[in-house]
């Protein structure tokens, strides 16, 4: 009776990592949570510097009563989403954050690459979403009622 060959143990992931290491590269491990924008992640603990909260511990919005963005001086929604508020707090807690003097007394500075998402979100909440709702687009989609 012929001996059956012993199965060879193959670990493709280990082999790939070893080959990449030899070439001076590395394989990114599961970074799924780090690729999600901070405003939409549940594991972010918001800092609470005193200037971001008032006497009643209510979060101040990203604008003044005139509804102007403190970064781009564009229109800011009257009732910003929780995600927009959370992102504003994250931006204001960054070490690079600084106040600027200008037309807007709330004028603040951060590099554009840090504020672009925030300003795009408040533009959408101020203009795009209200226009869509006015045109009859749903604000919530019932995916179970959609037919393929």
| Rg of the Cα atoms in the chain | 24
Predicted model pTM = 0.53
User: Structure tokens of 65?
Assistant: 């009563």
Give the chain's domain count. 1
User: Structure tokens of 33?
Assistant: 């949570």
Instruction: Identify whether 132 is part of a domain.
Output: yes
Q: Over the stretch 9-40, which tens digit does the pLDDT of each residue have?
A: 888 888 888 888 898 887 766 556 666 666 66
Instruction: Identify whether 116 is part of a domain.
Output: yes
Could you tell me how many residues make up the chain?
A: 148
Q: Over the stretch 41-53, which tens digit does the pLDDT of each residue have?
A: 666 665 555 454 4
Angle at 78 between CA 75 and CA 79, to 5 degrees: 130
Instruction: Identify whether 148 is part of a domain.
Output: no
Instruction: Identify whether 7 is part of a domain.
Output: no
Distance between CA 25 and CA 77 in Å, rounded? 45
Instruction: Identify whether 107 is part of a domain.
Output: yes
Instruction: Identify whether 2 is part of a domain.
Output: no
Contact 63, 106 (CB under 8 A): yes
pLDDT at residue 53, as a whole number: 45
Contact 124, 118 (CB under 8 A): no
Range of the domain at 101: 58-136
pLDDT at residue 142, as a whole number: 84
User: Structure tokens of 74?
Assistant: 């564009």
């Amino acid at each position: 009776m012929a001996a059956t060959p012993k199965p060879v143990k193959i670990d493709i992931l280990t082999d790939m990592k070893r080959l990449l290491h030899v070439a001076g590269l590395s394989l990114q491990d599961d970074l799924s949570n780090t690729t999600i924008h901070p405003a939409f992640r549940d594991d972010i603990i918001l800092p609470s510097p005193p200037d971001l909260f008032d006497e009643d511990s209510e979060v101040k919005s990203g604008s003044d009563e005139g509804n102007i963005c403190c970064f781009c001086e564009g229109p800011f929604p009257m009732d910003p989403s929780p995600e927009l508020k959370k992102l504003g707090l994250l931006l204001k807690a960054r070490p690079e954050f600084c106040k600027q003097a200008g037309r807007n007394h709330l004028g603040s500075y951060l590099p554009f690459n840090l504020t672009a998402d925030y300003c795009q979100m408040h533009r959408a909440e101020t203009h795009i979403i209200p226009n869509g709702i006015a045109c009859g687009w749903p604000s919530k989609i019932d995916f179970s009622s959609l037919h393929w």
